[in-house]
Amino acid sequence: MQKFKPQSNTQYFLLPPSVEEFVKEDHLARVVSEVVESLDTAAIENRYSYLGQKSYHPKLLLKLLFYGYSIGIRSGRKIAAACESDVAFMYLSCMYKPDFRTINDFRKDNADLVEQLFIEVIRLCAAMNMVNMGMLVIDSTKLRANASNRCTKTKEQYQQWLGNIEQQVKDIITQADTADKEEDEKYGDNRGDELPKQINTKEKLRKKIQEAIKQMKDDNDKINLTDHDAKVIRSGGLLRTSYNCQTSSTSNGIIVSAYVTNAASDKEHLLPVIQQAESNTQHKSETILADSGYASYDNYEQLTQLNKTILVPDQEKETESVKAASNPFHRNHFSYDAQENKFICPEGKSLTYRREYIHKVYKQHSKLYEGTECSSCTSKPLCTKGKARQIHIENRMPLREQIRKLLDSPEGKNIYKLRQQIIEPIFGNIKHNLKYTMLHLRTLKKVNAEWQLICLTHNIKQIWKMKCQPG
């Protein structure tokens, strides 16, 4: 009696199997295939010609890219290799073996159409009742650009670098002139007047630097030689050449808006993110959840005008109470007398209204209150270093206080806790599980498509979980 099952790699099948038989019914690859088949790819197909050799169908290449991105494989070479060894990729590629250049060129050439595919997947989710726009959770994450930090320089640094290169080129030419006696041995059958390889490389670098200098409008501007759109942004306490990826999600984890910016601040992107989400889903949101990086008086005012419930803490909310506890003359200890329009300091002295002004930088409309009895006050050294204590009140400060009260209420606290539970796991999965900590493409347009591709495949995995993993 045999103890083991027989082994044979040369055994023929009685009936030839289909590659589909090797992919489980609930496999992610099947859902990717179904989703892609439902997409309208006419815009991509119209870019192909009837002339020449037949091309791979765009849907086939989209399936490979979508499935690759959903499991953490972005490299065209790795996807091409998987088409020869991975059953799921073989199933999606219909046993074809596209070259990695074909995959990479397809992704690069159709970057401008990824946004429309992203929107179609969102609306597919909506058709499956997976999109609840009542609550919109907004956040951003920084991803490193495909460019080195040391290649981000100012105009002066580039000009210095350019001077060094030109000197190096002169040195190379001088060395070549002294080697005339070895010309035949060096150039063989060539004419002998070709540029040496070192000069060729330096010339290309010199042209790139000159192009970068032309794009710089200000002497203090910094631009990266490899990717002109990438900017140095602080992330995790480090300054890195990065992009800022803006995202919004519904309460059940469907990403409904995604785009990339090279601006470090999030404040200017709260409304655009909301507008894109509402445009993509064709539904209005009611409650907005975001961290303090999105807080500004302008955003509070505009969201109030749009009748949104705002759960966006301001950046001073937590630090203000700490400072007030240690400083008896903090502004929070000054009481306001609405009837006489003045503030009363802890010593009982008045700060009267002086004027209204617009801040030169932040363009905020504020009121100025100034103490009238500070010169005779014994506590003045503890209260102010100026001639008199001043208090500046932004006209929209009551709106900020209203939002603070909502955030401090039991209901507000419970709702705001959901922000971390909804959006942070999405970024955690993308950056930790799938290892997407660095973007592969360059320039803002292509990087935007890459981020939307990552978010699109996240939504496809949500569809797969709903269909095949109901538990």
Could you give the 3-state DSSP secondary structure of residue 371? strand
The pLDDT value recorded for residue 272 is 95
Scanning the structure block, which residue is given the tokens 């073996």? Answer: 97
SS3 assignment, position 461: helix
In 304-371, DSSP assigns E strands to 309-311, 335-337, 342-344, 350-358, 365-371
- What residues form DSSP beta bridges with 367? 356, 393
pLDDT digits (tens, 9 = 90+) for 62-121: 999 999 999 999 999 999 999 999 999 999 999 999 999 999 999 999 999 999 999 999
- Position 157 scores a pLDDT of 61
Question: pLDDT above 90 covers what percent of the chain?
Answer: 55
**pLDDT of 324 strictly over 90:** no
Average pLDDT, the chain: 86
Distance CA 436, CA 427 (A): 9
Give dist(CA 206, CA 367) in Å, integer: 54
Residue 206 pLDDT greater than 70, yes or no: no
Lowest mean pLDDT among 138-152, 171-185, 373-387: 171-185
What's the confidence (pLDDT) of residue 268? 93
Question: Is the per-residue pLDDT at 15 higher than 80?
Answer: no
* pTM listed for this prediction: 0.84
DSSP state of 3: S
* 126-167 residue pLDDT tens: 999 999 989 999 999 999 998 877 777 666 666 665 666 665
**Band of pLDDT at residue 316, cut at 50, 70 and 90:** confident
Question: Residue 200: its pLDDT value, please?
Answer: 56
Tokens of 223: 């631009």
Kindly give the pairing relationship between strand 287-290 and strand 135-144: parallel
Residue 26, CA atoms < 13 Å, CB-side half-sphere: 6
State the Cα–Cα distance between residues 300 and 81, nearest whole angstrom.
51
